[in-house]
Structure 1
Amino acid sequence: MKIAFVLGGSTYQQSLYRVTYDVAEEIRRQGHQLDFIFWENPGPIKANDKYLKIFGLNKESKPSKIFSALFIAIFGKHFYYYLFSPLFLKQIKARLKSENYQAVFYQGQSCIPLHADKDEHYVVVHSCKYENFVERYSGFRKRFYKRLYKNIYSGQKLLTVSSDVLNDMVQKIGAQPDSAETIYNGFDFGRLKAEIAKPQPEGLPNSFIMAAGRPDRTKRFDILLRAYAKSKKTYPLVIFGDGKLLSQLKRLTDELDIAKDVFFPGFCNNLLPAFRQAKLYVSSSDVEGLPTVIVESLVAGTPVVATDAGGSYELLSNDLSKWVVPRGDIDALARAIDDILDNPPVVGSDTLAFLDHRRIAKRYIDLSEQLEGHQH
């Protein structure tokens, strides 16, 4: 069977590829051909993967850049994707015509510019669209984008990476899909453990509290810093990541008088070994899909405090749920940090069996066979 994972706005280096890689490899091990289809340049192509230079999406061609820049300036990016979906889709179908994929899964934002596809396919939603995008606006723009997303995702076969994402799409956006179920991102725990066992990044404290991600409005590292300042500060805090809000965060550490206790190493290519050295991982996000960092931390044996964003409750179940706190609650986050360090639980991959890449790959194969059956 030939299966395509279409990755919109992603490359080999970005998270969308990384959270689908283990499942893709398992599908291949079971004798099926699985190709990643990119419409952004992913770098040197691997195996049978494909990079399709789509006019209107491609950022390397000057005419394509001018065309997209003009209409995005007029309509905004997402409405531009929506309006010109037939143009993008015609090009992709023409390029892939000879491939005869029995199953196509649009992963992430690739559904937005390709929503006009009338052939049988699945749409995999990786983030909370209402919380991450629509909720930013008010008045007419909020109503407009909510209706836009409702139109895009209604009538689709939806797969969402957590129950929280499914609730966001159906309850908050109001989408009316043909079908909807949760399909978690799958992980090869053996591969993760091997990566975690490698030498950790240099220049870190011997023990520390860890957080990671691009400093943006959703990660809420400002909340983490304020909570850390109220905590016992048992260990230094290390926040990995780089972005335009980093300078604001550094200023905030000065204001809170914790600059000597907080380290910002920037972006790190080999982050997994750092989880092994950390005493605690803290996820302070307002918006998540299925937080990969929580999975990685638990596999490394490092406990987690998290806000109730995305699939955090699904990952931190039973006894671990006591350290899931309300979003934006600085005092609750500070208390949870101190409490878990005073009473650290034993954690590992045992509680994450439902994310095993072999189990998730089997579900993708079953869904692919259903699509193939419909075509016949």
Structure 2
Amino acid sequence: MITTTTTQIKEDSNKKEKVLLVINCLQGGGAERSVLTLGQGFYELGYEVHILRFKSKVAYELSDNLFYHQLDLNAYKSVPTKPLRHWYFAKMLDKYVTKEIGIPILTLSNLDKADMVMRHSNLPNIAHIIRNTISKKIELFRSEGKKVGEKKLSNIYSRHPCICVSQGVEKDFQSTLAVTNTTTIYNPIDKIQIMESASEFKPEFDDYIIHVGSFKTQKAHEVLLKSYAKTSKTLPLLLLGEGALLESMKELTTSLGLDNNVHFLGFQKNPYPYIQKARFMVLSSVFEGFGRVIAESLALGTPVISTDCPSGPRELLPPYNLVSVGDIDALAKKMDEAMANADIYQSSFDDELLPIKIAQQYIAFMTKSD
């Protein structure tokens, strides 16, 4: 039996066209924040927006403008194989959506688990949102001993159109999986909401460098810490986030003699006051899909230095703000320059990233696909 939790559907809901966004959960990640922001963009365009997730976990404040649903995928663990489980769950999901929500004009699938389910769905106008450089994800999984096959992934993503969050992601996706029914639409950034959130409280630190991101291999915190150790360290480094590699990064901090300079602040539901007050933001990632925190920093007027990942940062920042992936000395040099004069790394925010503008691109893509 499907376990559900939904908001009460408004009496006039059948008068509005509906958009459905599907994701595993709403935990504290960039993809989850992007789903909620995109939902707001569709709402601003006049659509009725539904968010459907498979787990109850929520790390963000949920807007009253959207409707929320939960269908429990774990309730089907007794189905013998994952492919069969995903197929069966998709049929249950279609039945639920048709009965409780109505037929959406657009359904957007987000992240791996949702994609594996929604490839079997028969709802109209489904698209997968591709949020990361898939070749790099495959490399990472294989380095961790996980089996990943390009053919299997091609089968998942070849049935429905795929919308990539950067041009770099789209190019990599096409070349890796030979899937060509793709386009690029950037992640939405709610500049007004971000600026309002940035004024909610005053951080306990006055002048600092900041990094926001989960402690996982992709973010390469070890490169950031080793680079910072080579700087003058005239400003402290704040690290916001949680993740599997948190404790090992704390140990590295100690071994580099940085305990008095580096501060681990954990996951922050509202990181924007910290970002706004920072002298500059720094990213050391091995790969990014879009680099959401870069765009958020630019919305707040905070300069950004980043590694030049295969996709994302170079589409948001000028070349001078970028360094080669894994180049500890080059990153240290730029951090020293920014500690002395962060203005040389200032960049402007592109208003085309506002939620309503991005939502319009999705509707235009759907109309074209029809």
How would you bin the TM-score normalised by the shorter chain? 0.7 to 0.9
Task: Report what 2:214 is aligned to.
Answer: 214
Q: Would you say 1:131 and 2:142 are equivalent positions?
A: no
The structure-2 alpha-carbon separation of the partners of 1:239 and 1:326, relative to structure 1 and needing over 3 Å to count, comes to same
| 1:194 is aligned to 2:196 | yes
Aligned mate of 2:339, from 329, 338, 341 = 341
Cα gap change, 1:291/1:323 in structure 2, threshold over 3 Å: closer, same or farther?
A: same
Residue 16 of structure 2 is aligned to residue 8 of structure 1: no
**1:192-236 per-position Cα deviation (integer Å, ceiling 9, x unaligned):** 11111222333x3x2111112221111111110000011121211
Conserved? CA contact 1:231–1:335, under 8 Å: yes
Q: Does 1:270 align with 2:288?
A: no
Code of the residue aligned with 2:121 in structure 1: it is D
Q: How does 1:70-81 map to 2 (within 5 A)?
A: 71=81, 80=82
Q: Contact (CA 8 Å) 1:52, 1:92: kept in 2 or not? A: no
Matches within 5 A, 1:1-376: 2-11=17-26, 14-41=29-56, 49-54=67-72, 57-58=73-74, 61=75, 64=76, 66-67=77-78, 71=81, 80=82, 82-98=83-99, 99-109=102-112, 110-118=114-122, 119-137=124-142, 144-171=148-175, 173-177=176-180, 179-202=181-204, 204=205, 206-309=206-309, 310-317=311-318, 321-345=319-343, 350-370=348-368, 374=370
* CA distance, structure 2, for counterparts of residue 50 and residue 209 of structure 1: 36
Contact 1:41 1:51 in 2 (8 A): no
**Distance in 2 between residues matched to 1:123 and 1:12, nearest whole Å:** 19
Local SS of the residue matching 1:234: coil
Q: Report the RMSD for the aligned CA atoms in angstroms.
A: 2.7
Q: What is the SS of the residue equivalent to 1:222?
A: helix
Match of 2:279, SS state, is strand
- The aligned counterpart of 1:75 is none
Deviation at 1:322, TM superposition (A): 0.9
The residue that corresponds to 2:9 in the other structure is: none
- Aligned residues of 2:223 and 2:326 also touching (Cα < 8 A): yes
Residues in 2 aligned to 1:238 and 1:246: alpha-carbon distance in whole angstroms: 13
One-letter code aligned to 1:111: D
- For 2:321 and 2:347, locate their aligned partners in 1 and report how far apart those are by CA, in whole Å: 18
More helix by share: 1
Indicate conservation of the 8 Å contact 2:22/2:107, yes or no: no
Given the two structures, how large is their TM-score scaled by the length of structure 2?
A: 0.84
Structure 1 residue 33: Cα displacement:
1.5
TM-fit CA distance, 1:12: 6.8
SS for the counterpart of 2:325 is coil
* Counterpart contact for 1:4–1:35, Cα < 8 Å: yes
Between 346-355 and 235-244, report the one with greater CA deviation. Answer: 346-355
Contact kept in structure 1, 2:235 and 2:339, CA below 8 Å = no
Distance 2:355 2:63 in 1: 23
CA contact 1:224–1:330 (8 Å) conserved in 2: yes
Identical aligned residues as a percent: 25
Q: Letter of the aligned partner of 1:102 in structure 2? A: I
Aligned partners of 2:23, 2:224: CA distance in 1, in Å? Answer: 31
Q: Structure 1 residues 50, 301: closer, same or farther in 2, change over 3 A?
A: closer
- Cα distance, 1:258–1:132 mapped onto 2, change above 3 Å: same
Instruction: Show CA shifts across 1:265-297 (max 9, x none).
Output: 222222110012211111111121112211121
Residues of 2 paired with 1:365 and 1:97: CA distance? 21
Q: Deviations over 1:131-176 (max 9, x none)?
A: 12344317x966x5222112211243111111121122111x2232
TM, length-normalised to structure 1: 0.83
Deviations 1:48-77 (A, max 9, x none): 6242424xx23xx4xx3x537x75xxxxxx
Q: What 5-or-longer segments of structure 1 have no aligned partner?
A: 72-79
Asked whether the equivalents of residues 298 and 347 of structure 1 are also in contact (C-alpha less than 8 Å), the reply is no
State the shift of 1:8 in Å: 2.1
